[in-house]
Amino acid sequence: MKSTIKNILKEAKKRLKKDLYLLEHYSNKFFSIQKPALDFDPDTLPFIDRPKYSFAKLNKQIVPHGKLPYNLEEKLDFFREYGYVVLENVLPTNEVDAIWDEIEFVTENHENYDIDGLAHRFNDQKETPIKRIPKENLNGIGTRFIDYHDSSVRAKNLITHPNLAPFLQASLTPQMTVFQSLIFKYSSQQDLHQDFPWVTSKIPSHLVAAWIPMEDVHQDAGPLFYYPKSHRMPKFDFGKTGILFHYENSLFSPDQFSRYLTETCTQLGLKKEILLIKKGDVLFWHGALAHGGMPINDPSKTRKSFVVHYSTKDGLPQHRRSNVPEENPDQYHGITVYSNPLLAHQKDIVK
C-alpha cells in the first residue's frame, strides 16, 4: 500500500514538474512575443535613419521636383545628425498672413464652426467644437485649434507646399500623409517631451513635424526649445506600453517622462537651444527630438504658429479619426491629405 502511494506521488511529482516546465516555456514564449518594444523597429525605419543611408540612393526614390531654395542634401544631412533643421524663406509670407486672417475670422465667428479646439480651463481641457468655446477663451493663452487644415484648402496648400514636399518625402518616404495639425496663438509652454509616444501611428518611427511661424518669434513670447541630437537618445520605458504612452495602461506619467528626458540630456552632454524663427521659415524636427515651449515672459507677446505632424501611408492608412481607409483621398503636391469623416460637413468650409 505504502509502495503504491509512493509510486503515485512520484509519478504525480514528475507530471507536475513537466507541467511546470511546459507552463514556463510557453509563458516565456508568449510574453516574449507580447513584450512591448523599447525602440523603433529597425526593419521599418525611414531610410534616412538607417546606418547605410545614402543621399544618392535616397534621391532616386523621391518624386522628381523643381529647383528648391535650399540644398536638399545639406539639409537632410543636418536633419539626420541633429534631429531638426530650419528651411529659410521657403513659404510665401502673404499666404502665411492670409491663413492667419482666416483664423481670426473663424475665431470671430466661431459659433458657425465645429472645428475642434482645446482651451485652458474650459471643459476640463478636453477637445471641444470651437462653437462651444467662449471667444475670450479662444483668444487666450493655452488655446489651440485642432486639425484646422481639414477645413481650409489654403492651409492644406501651405503645409504641403512644393518647397516642403521633397524634404518631407526624403525624411520619411515618398508616400507621405498629413497626420494632424495644431494652430497656436500663444506659446504652448509645454514641458520637455518627444512626439512619438503621443502622436502614434502603426509605425512609431514614421513621424516628422513642422513648426511654421505665422509671425517673427520674440524671445519673450515663449519660443520653442530643443536638444540637438536628442533623437538618438535611449527611449523611455513607460512600462506595460513600452515606448508609447497610453493614459490608462502606462505605468509612468508624462511628468516622469519629462524628468527622464531632462536628466538623460544632461548625462549625454546635450545642450538646449532656443529658436527665434521668422515668418516664411519652417522648422522640421524628428519625431524623437526632445523639445518644448519656453515660458511666456511677456503675456502681451503672441507666438502665432501652425504645427503639423506628418506620417506615411504605411503608418497612417486613413484619417486618424477613422477606422477604415479612404478610397480616393485628396492629394496636395504629392502628399496625401485624408478627410475627417466626423466633420465631413466642415471640409474646406473656410474660403
Domain assignment present for 329:
yes
The reported pLDDT for the residue numbered 25 is: 44
Residue ranges in 148-298 assigned as alpha helix (H)? 153-159, 165-171, 254-267
Do 213 and 234 lie in a common domain? yes
Determine the length of the chain: 351
152 exposure class (CB count in 10 Å sphere: 0-12, 13-18, 19+): buried
The grid cell for 211 is 513648426
For residue 351, being part of any structural domain is answered with no
Which domain, by its residues, includes 12? 1-35
- The reply to whether 42 and 31 lie within a common domain is no
Distance, CA of 336 to CA of 316 (rounded, Å): 10
- Whether residue 229 is found in the same domain as residue 177: yes
CATH of the domain at 223: 2.60.120.620
Are residues 151 and 6 part of one domain? no
For residue 18, the model assigns a pLDDT of: 42
Do both 79 and 135 map to the same domain?
Answer: yes
Alpha carbon distance 323, 319 (integer Å): 8
Residue 206 shares a structural domain with residue 320:
yes
Q: How many CB atoms lie under 10 A from the CB of residue 3?
A: 7
Q: What is the pLDDT of residue 17?
A: 42
Query: Same structural domain for residues 10 and 128?
Result: no
Predicted pLDDT at 15: 59
Helix/strand number for the chain, H first, E second: 8, 13
Same-domain check for residues 236 and 134: yes
Distance CA 192, CA 214 (A): 23
Task: Give the E-state strand segments of the chain in sequence order.
Answer: 84-87, 116-118, 128-129, 144-146, 176-184, 208-213, 224-226, 273-275, 282-286, 291-293, 305-312, 330-332, 335-337
Strands 291-293 and 208-213, bridge-based pairing: unpaired
Instruction: Read off the amino acid at residue 263.
Output: E
CA distance 293 to 188: 6
pLDDT score, position 60: 87
Q: Looking at the structure, do residues 265 and 338 belong to the same domain, yes or no?
A: yes
Residues 259 and 308 in one domain: yes
What pLDDT, on the 0 to 100 scale, is given for residue 21? 40
- Is residue 295 situated within a structural domain? yes
Q: Is-contact 156 350, C-beta < 8 A?
A: no
Q: Are 280 and 89 spatial neighbours (Cβ–Cβ below 8 Å)? A: yes
How many domains does the chain fold into?
2
Question: Does residue 98 sit in the same domain as residue 31?
Answer: no
Q: Return averaged pLDDT per consecutive 10 residues of the chain, 351 residues in all.
A: 59 52 48 70 95 92 90 97 98 98 97 95 91 95 96 98 96 95 96 96 96 98 98 95 92 95 98 98 98 97 98 96 93 96 95 79
How many CB atoms neighbour CB 48 within 10 A?
19
* Residue 279 and residue 185 in one domain: yes
Q: Which of 193, 301, 282 is nearest to 238 (CA)?
A: 193
> Distance between CA 221 and CA 336 in Å, rounded?
33
